[in-house]
């Protein structure tokens, strides 16, 4: 049968999603003038071993680049963090057009996509599943993507994406250095206490949002948009676009900045 394609709808037009009623939900709009400079915030020190990279998985919401997190080989420390956090996966959120797609915004500015590098606290917990339920369980680095030059590091990943076009597909993907997706300046960031942006929406996340964005080409993002929310068996195929959550109220939280 002929596959039918429909683009996703901008979640802003779908009305509110789940209302978990928490006080530290994500994502949020970062209001630059209201963020508070904290001179005690340390530089962030990611220490990643590309050898821990294992596979790419289309989970029907995004594609995840997964890392072996059975040892402390790829870790994040420093910044606002007191413990070591182990990298388990990174993924992206993006729009159907370049006019929107990021989950966080900066003074209401939307970016075409946002990278999330997900880490869990390996000093306090034994597994990701345990950490995800705890207040200080996770640390996620957020990096905004802008349209510009082709990103050489990202291209190896883009080339692998057609193999995980459908939901539930998995391919081996090794030796990818996640540090190549960080901006040149990782010393300038905002940080706040928040949540996962998909179910279970647990309020477990220390968010670290990079001030500097990275550039990718329109063609590279077009390959993200060629992925599907749907599995190979489904008759009506849906493009994987607009896979971001609506913004959540700040509810008295402070966003701290590492820079003035």
CB atoms within 10 A of CB 42: 12
Q: Return the residue nearest Zn ion (CB atom).
A: 116
**Cα distance between residue 70 and residue 134, in whole Å:** 19
If the CB atoms of residues 86 and 116 are measured against ligand SG7, the closer one turns out to be 116
Residue by residue, DSSP assigns 238-257 as EB-----PPP---TT---EE
Q: Does 166 bind Zn ion (CB under 5 A)?
A: no
* Binding residues with ligand SG7: total (CB under 6 A): 13
Segment 112 to 141, residues that bind Zn ion, using CB under 5 A: 116
In this chain, which stretch among 35-43, 61-69, 222-230, 231-239 interacts with ligand SG7, using CB under 6 A? 61-69
The site partner of 119 among ligand SG7, Zn ion, none (C-beta below 5 to 8 Å per kind) is none
In this chain, which stretch among 57-65, 146-154, 158-166, 168-176 interacts with ligand SG7, using CB under 6 A? 57-65
What percent of the chain is helix, strand and coil (3-state, nearest 5)? 15, 30, 55
Q: What does the block give as tokens for 188?
A: 């300038």
Q: Does 55 bind ligand SG7 (CB under 6 A)?
A: no
DSSP E strand stretches across 95-235: 105-106, 113-121, 138-147, 170-172, 189-194, 205-210, 214-216
Segment 99 to 158, residues that bind ligand SG7, using CB under 6 A: 116, 118, 132, 140
Q: Does 64 bind ligand SG7 (CB under 6 A)?
A: yes
Give just the sign of the alpha carbon dihedral 12, 15, 18, 23: positive
Q: Does 196 bind ligand SG7 (CB under 6 A)?
A: yes
If the CB atoms of residues 148 and 249 are measured against ligand SG7, the closer one turns out to be 249
CB neighbour burial string for 128-154, b if at least 16 within 10 angstroms, e if fewer: beebbeeebbbbbbbbbbeeeeebeeb
Rounded to a whole number of angstroms, the minimum distance from the CB of residue 25 to ligand SG7 is 10
Q: What does the block give as tokens for 209?
A: 């949002």
User: Which residues are near ligand SG7 by CB under 6 A?
Assistant: 59, 61-62, 64, 89, 91, 116, 118, 132, 140, 196-198
User: Which residues are near Zn ion by CB under 5 A?
Assistant: 116
């Amino acid at each position: 049968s002929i596959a039918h394609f429909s683009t996703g709808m901008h979640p802003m037009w779908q009305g509110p999603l789940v209302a978990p009623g928490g006080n530290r939900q994500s994502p949020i709009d970062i209001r630059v003038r209201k963020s508070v400079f904290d001179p005690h915030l340390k530089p962030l020190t990611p220490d990643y071993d590309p050898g821990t990279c294992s596979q790419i998985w289309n989970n029907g919401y995004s594609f995840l680049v997964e890392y072996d997190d059975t040892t402390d080989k790829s870790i994040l420390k420093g910044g606002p963090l007191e413990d070591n956090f182990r990298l388990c996966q990174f993924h992206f959120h993006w729009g159907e057009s370049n006019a929107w797609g990021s989950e966080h915004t900066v003074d209401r500015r939307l970016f075409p996509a946002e990278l999330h590098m997900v880490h869990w606290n390996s000093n306090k917990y034994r597994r990701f599943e345990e950490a995800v339920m705890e207040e200080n369980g996770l640390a996620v680095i957020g990096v905004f993507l802008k349209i510009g030059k082709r990103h050489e590091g990202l291209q190896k990943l883009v080339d692998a994406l057609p193999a995980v076009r459908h939901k539930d597909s998995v391919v081996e993907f090794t030796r990818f250095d996640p540090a190549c997706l960080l901006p040149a300046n990782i010393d300038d960031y905002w940080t706040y206490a928040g949540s996962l942006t998909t179910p279970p929406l647990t309020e477990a996340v220390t968010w670290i949002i990079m001030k500097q964005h990275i550039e990718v080409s329109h063609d590279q993002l077009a390959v993200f948009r060629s992925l599907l929310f749907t599995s190979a068996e489904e008759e009506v195929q849906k493009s994987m676009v607009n896979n971001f959550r609506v913004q959540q109220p700040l509810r008295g939280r402070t966003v701290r900045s590492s820079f003035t």
